């Protein structure tokens, strides 16, 4: 059982694909299989840490490529291997021990990135859009400079793709809200 959550706490949980059902249970929705799993309080901290797996893989790639100066493809394969291993550990070990819960389609959609942006306050959403738009422009300039040196092009292109995607989701959420 949990207390009533504020809208800010609800949005923070929704970014982790978690919602609170009518019985006041935390329910995690797997985005790939669309299945629901009941999450306990102790599993919530593991899920928060696990949600950083893509950032950790990017960090492994950047450290391997730039600091350790190994080839970009070896650093990318190492990061990808770590990501695949963590995903398998997550699916085989963590999700198998959780009880399954039936999830309605509306509840599964409520934890999407777009719905989180739409439920955000209009001023915060506008500030977020301006910040990510500025980051997108700055990283685009860095990509142009990286083309001359050709060293960090792959890293910057991956970061640019992420920024384009997330800025597009925020912009769509802002215009959908209007």
Based on the fold, state whether residues 55 and 125 are members of the same structural domain.
no
Number of domains in the chain: 2
Is residue 149 domain-shared with residue 70, that is, in the same domain? no
Judge if 106 and 143 occupy the same domain: no
Domain that holds residue 24: 1-111
Residue 149: C-alpha distances to residues 3, 27, 84 (Å):
54, 48, 31
Angle at 151 between CA 147 and CA 153, to 5 degrees: 55
pTM assigned to the model: 0.63
Give the per-residue pLDDT at 155.
Answer: 63
107-160 residue pLDDT tens = 777 676 667 777 777 888 788 888 888 888 877 777 666 666 665 566 666 667
Both 86 and 119 in one domain: the answer is: no
123 and 88 co-located in one domain: no
């Amino acid at each position: 059982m949990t207390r009533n959550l504020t809208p800010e706490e609800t949005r923070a949980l929704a970014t982790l694909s978690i919602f609170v059902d009518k019985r006041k249970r935390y329910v995690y929705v797997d985005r790939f299989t669309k299945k629901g799993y009941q999450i306990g309080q102790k599993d919530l901290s593991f899920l928060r840490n696990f949600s950083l797996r893509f950032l950790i893989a990017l960090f492994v790639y950047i450290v391997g490529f730039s600091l350790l100066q190994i080839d970009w493809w070896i650093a990318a394969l190492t990061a990808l291997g770590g990501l695949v291993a963590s995903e398998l550990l997550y699916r085989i070990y963590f999700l198998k021990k959780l009880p399954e819960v039936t999830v309605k389609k509306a509840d599964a959609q409520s934890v999407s990135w777009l719905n989180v942006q739409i439920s955000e306050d209009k001023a915060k959403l506008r500030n977020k859009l301006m910040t990510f738009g500025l980051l997108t422009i700055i990283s685009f300039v860095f990509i142009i400079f990286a083309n001359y040196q050709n060293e960090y092009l792959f890293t910057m292109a991956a970061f640019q793709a992420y920024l384009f995607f997330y800025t597009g989701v925020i912009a769509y959420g802002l215009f959908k809200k209007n």
